[in-house]
Every structure is written in C-alpha cells, then in structure tokens.
Structure 1
Amino acid sequence: MPAVLDLWKKSSSLPVGGDRLFSFLFSQKAPYFGSVRPRFTVIEPNHAELVITKRRRVHNHIKTVHAIALCNGLEAAMGALAESTIPRDRRWIPKGMEVAYTAKADSDVTCIAETDPGQWTAELGDGYDLPVRVRGVRADGTVVVEGEIRLWISPRKA
C-alpha cells in the first residue's frame, strides 16, 4: 500500500482529529500546501477530497476564496490522489494545469481530484501524460473551479 494511503488509513481511523493530523503532516511534506490549511476528507485510489475553509487568510479583494488558493487546494488533492494510486514502478510530476473559474467561491470549498483506474496502468514506454480531473465545489454544491492537472508518468529509477 502506498505510504500516503497507509498514513491516511491509520490517521483517519483515530477517534478524534485524525484527518487534521494527516492534513498537517501532508502539509509538512509539501509546505506550500499549508498556506491554505487543507483538511483532507477522502483519500483513496483514483479519488481525493479536501476542504479549504473560507477565512481571511485565503481571501481576495472581494472576500471570496482567491483563485490561486483554489489552485493550491486542487493541486494538494491531486498530489494525495497520485501518491495513493500510482504503481510502485512509476513516478509522477505535474506538467501543467488548466482551470476555469465558474462561480464565486464565497464559502468553504471542497477540492476534488479524480482519475480512472486504467490511466495508471497504461503502457509505460518512456512515459506518458495522465490528465487528472479537478474541481472545487462550494458548500451549496455549486462548482466554482474546474479543470485538469496534467501529470507526466515515467518509470521509477532502479
């Protein structure tokens, strides 16, 4: 079992605060993610979710969640998904992101990343592009951002 998924299963099974403990530890590994204080709620192969709380620290000039904070949350969700899904003989790196902002993010936002199982077991060769579907959803269910993060999947060095 991948280390991130194993840590998630162990920490989220704690009776109190396990999701927050995992989220803190995840942000320590990649400190920039800590700027939005993600709170992971789901991590499983091909699917990850986290919540960005709407608070002053992530506001823009109109007091909604800033576009770059949303992208940061989407990338954190994608990273947890990738680490929880990728076969051990492969590695990944982000190659690009394309998003559209579709509504004001005027509440907490759930950032979701999803892939299909077959994407991770495609013919490897020297490597290939893997698109990860991402979206951010407001508390009322409205999608506020959606798009794709492209990963480069390549063989892990021996």
Structure 2
Amino acid sequence: MAAANKLAGIVGKINALPEFARSRALTLFFGRVVPFTGTAGMRIESLDEERCVISIANKRRVQNHIGGVHAVASLLLAESATGFLVGLNVPDDKIPVIKTVHAEYTRRAKGDMTVEATLTAEQRERIRTEEKGDVSVPVIIRDGEGKEPIEIEMIWAWTPKRR
C-alpha cells in the first residue's frame, strides 16, 4: 500500500531498516520533529499505520514527588502514541489536532511506563477519506509490573489545512 502522507513515507523507510536500528531511528526522528518528546526521554519501540508502542524509563527527570512517572509524563506518552498514529494516517491536506483527553488514575504506577495505541482498519479509512471528523484512539498504559494504572481516552480530530 502506498504511503498515506509524507510522514508515513518517512516512517516506512525507517521501518525498512534492520530491526535493531528501527526504534532508535524512530526515536531520533520524532525527537527532532517534536522536540519535547526527546526532552522527556521517550523511546518509540514500534510504529506503523495500525499500532504505536512508546516507553519511558522511570528516571529522575520524569518523576513525581513519590518516585513514580509523573502524571503529565504518562499523558505525554498517550498523546504522542495516539498522535503519531493519527499523523501517519491523515492525508497531507489535513491537520490532526487533539480534541479531548480524559484520564482516570486508578492505582499507583510502579517502574517504567509503556503505552500502546491502535487504530482499526475502519478508523484508518475514516481518517483517510472523510473531509473532517474525529476518532477515539484506543490506548493502554502499562507500568513496570504490567498493570494498567490509568484508564485513558484520547479523541483526535482532523480538519482541512488552512491555505
């Protein structure tokens, strides 16, 4: 399948690299395009048009007052993973924007955090063909114990670029 947009083309070339180099190349690329992701120390584990996995180590620079990954850092992971997915699928003549974020912190997180966001074939088709719209992107955040300390909903919209 041809790339949906320029970003998808670049990510496709990165994903053609040997497996050992992909994560580092994706992380470096997005760290330059979206500098805050690099500042926070996020690592893009995998990314394609259907799924994105990003992790962050529980290091001092992203910790809260009780030694866990800060709430805002966990939201950054979720926003980035869902945004990268929508960005890979939205045509070049549209712009993706975050519309709604809802997070429910259900338990204390332990250790590093990993987020996985996915889009179904139907969602990807809507993003690629509808002039404007919005979509709730499924996202799961897991801590170092594999538990889900946050229930989160990310709704992304897309609209035509202004000329």
Query: Given the two structures, how large is their TM-score scaled by the length of structure 1?
Result: 0.85
2-structure distance, mates of 1:19, 1:29? 15
Runs of 5+ in structure 2 lacking a partner? none
Partner of 1:58: 62
Percent identity between matched residues is 24
Runs of 5+ in structure 1 lacking a partner? none
- Matched to 1:28, the amino acid is R
Q: Is the CA contact (8 Å cut-off) linking 1:109 and 1:137 kept in structure 2?
A: yes
Q: Structure 1: which 4+ aligned runs deviate by more than 4 Å?
A: none
Superposed CA deviations along residues 73-113 of structure 1, whole A, max 9, x for unmatched, are 11111121112222445432111211112222221111111
Bigger shift: 64-73 or 136-145? 136-145
Q: Is the CA contact (8 Å cut-off) linking 1:87 and 1:120 kept in structure 2?
A: no
1-structure distance, mates of 2:68, 2:99? 28
Counterpart of 1:36 (choices 37, 40, 54) is 40
Query: Given the two structures, how large is their TM-score scaled by the length of structure 2?
Result: 0.82
Superposition deviation, residue 40 in structure 1: 0.9
- Matched to 2:146, the amino acid is G
1-structure distance, mates of 2:19, 2:122? 34
Q: CA RMSD in A?
A: 2.2
Partner of 2:73: 69
Aligned length: 157
SS of the residue aligned with 1:141?
coil
More strand by share: 1
